[in-house]
Amino acid sequence: MNEMFLLKLGEVVLKGLNRGAFENRLKSNLARRLRPYGSFNVYIAQSTVYVEPNDDGCDVDGAWDACHTVFGLASICRCRPCEKNTDAILAAAVAYLGDDLSQAASFKVESKRADKRFPLTSIQLSQEIGGRLHEAFPHVAVDVHHPAYTVYVEVREHAAYVHGPAEPGAGGLPTGMGGRAACLLSGGIDSPVAGYMIAKRGVELECVHFFSYPYTSERAREKVLELARLMTRWCGRMTVDVVGFTKIQEAIRDQCPEEYFTIIMRRFMMRIAERIAREHGCKALITGENLGQVASQTMEAMAVTGAVVGLPVFQPLIGMDKEEIVAIARRIGTLETSILPYEDCCTVFTPRHPKTKPVLAEVEAIEAAMDVEGLIADALANTEKVTVRYHDGAR
């Protein structure tokens, strides 16, 4: 029998009467993610997702990498299925894990008997297979307390499965079970991480990017689209709404006191993002704000910024250290693109001394002299919708 995957469910197992809906969404998400790598049979039983290649033409390594990025899985392992008898289990362990086992200083066998019809208990099975493996690899010591390598045997409904240590899954909840949200995506480190963290809670993303040509270059735009593409490895296919923001920034420069440039700019961004969010059925806005990181991210500034929208604003990075954010960006693959030296519109007309403790009434008085609705309408009319995906055929 060929190699296959056992993917263990995470938080989904805690769901009640709607658990089936979560499992079905996870199964369909996996099927779509695996489609570029060939034909796989995906099914769920006993809190485990089984992924079986249907033919020798499948790209098993590519599929394995894809499984690491599917939300809803606590752990994943590659395994060798076999018949449910000790001779077949031993043969599978020797053939499938022999190379790793022979190089280990010590080992143990850990068994799980999910099929209670199997004649040996879990402990008896571990002792039987462990003893026979020690005969096959006499130079490898048996250590049941602190082994260098563990052989896992799972006796389940359809077959027995032999595998080595599992790897962590992506965690979270299946994409699509948490609704939709619009993520304000800049070219920096923070916003892609914020989008990833909300997507991990089962949320589908619509991204909104503000582009101020010619103050920001076409390379800056392409950088953001590349960040979005990298995010789709985790979040699934999505649309990036690229908003023409130049006229708004020029109007702010010409009509507002310099120290309020950033605050008023961000209020326009929030207004526009909310319009786009509602158009796409999104129920929240996502930002990469981090308390105290920059002048516009004080409590007072964020309160004034958020006052213009009626949707909830989620800020998953709000209490994190920068090092923590960078570590996540590196892990999900966005860091190297985020640090490319192409600036976004947030760096245009940056005030020398930004207002860190703005008063809402004062900001509203300044905006009253502007054609807010006209500027928003013009920006929305100059919005380009770009669909991004990790690669053709993926979701």
Strands 180-184, 285-286: pairing kind: parallel
How would residue 344 be classed by pLDDT, with cut points 50, 70 and 90? confident
CA distance 85 to 284: 53
What pLDDT is recorded for position 395? 38
* Peptide bond between residue 316 and the one before it cis (omega within 30 degrees of 0): no
How would residue 389 be classed by pLDDT, with cut points 50, 70 and 90? confident
For residue 33, give both structure tokens.
């993610």
What pLDDT is recorded for position 1? 55
Q: Phi and psi (nearest 5°) for 128?
A: -65, -50
CA distance 186 to 390: 19
pLDDT digits (tens, 9 = 90+) for 356-380: 899 999 999 999 999 999 999 999 9
Name, in order, each residue with C-beta under 8 angstroms of 324's C-beta and a sequence gap of 6 or more: none
CA distance 236 to 394: 8
Q: Does the pLDDT of residue 249 top 70, yes or no?
A: yes
What pLDDT is recorded for position 193? 98
Look at residue 71 and give its three-state secondary structure. coil
pLDDT digits (tens, 9 = 90+) for 306-319: 999 999 999 999 99
- How is the chain split among helix, strand and coil, in percent rounded to 5? 45, 20, 35
For residue 92, give both structure tokens.
């599978």
pLDDT digits (tens, 9 = 90+) for 160-182: 999 999 999 999 999 999 999 99
Which of 70, 205, 95 has its CA nearest to residue 151?
Answer: 95
The region, left, alpha or beta by phi > 0 then psi within -120 to 50, assigned to residue 236 is left
CA distance 298 to 1: 59
CA distance 96 to 81: 10
CA distance 186 to 207: 10
What pLDDT is recorded for position 124? 97
- Its sign, for the CA torsion 79, 82, 85, 88, is negative
Q: Which residues pair with 208 in a beta bridge?
A: 184, 241
User: What mean pLDDT do residues 217-239 have?
Assistant: 93
* Residue with token string 């098993």: 60
* Distance (Å) of CA 243 to CA 34, 101, 183, 341, 382: 33, 56, 13, 21, 6
Work out the angle between the directed axes of helices 86-102 and 122-136 (0-180°, nearest 10). 50
How many residues comprise the chain?
395
What pLDDT is recorded for position 125? 97
How would residue 234 be classed by pLDDT, with cut points 50, 70 and 90? very high
Rg (CA), the chain: 26
The region, left, alpha or beta by phi > 0 then psi within -120 to 50, assigned to residue 281 is left
Name, in order, each residue with C-beta under 8 angstroms of 98's C-beta and a sequence gap of 6 or more: 136, 137
Contact 316, 289 (CB under 8 A): no
For residue 218, give both structure tokens.
């076409």
Q: Does the pLDDT of residue 391 top 80, yes or no?
A: no
pLDDT digits (tens, 9 = 90+) for 109-160: 999 999 999 999 999 999 999 999 999 999 999 999 999 999 999 999 889 9
How would residue 44 be classed by pLDDT, with cut points 50, 70 and 90? very high
Exposed/middle/buried for 146, CB within 10 Å: 0-12, 13-18, 19+?
exposed
Q: Does the pLDDT of residue 394 top 60, yes or no?
A: no
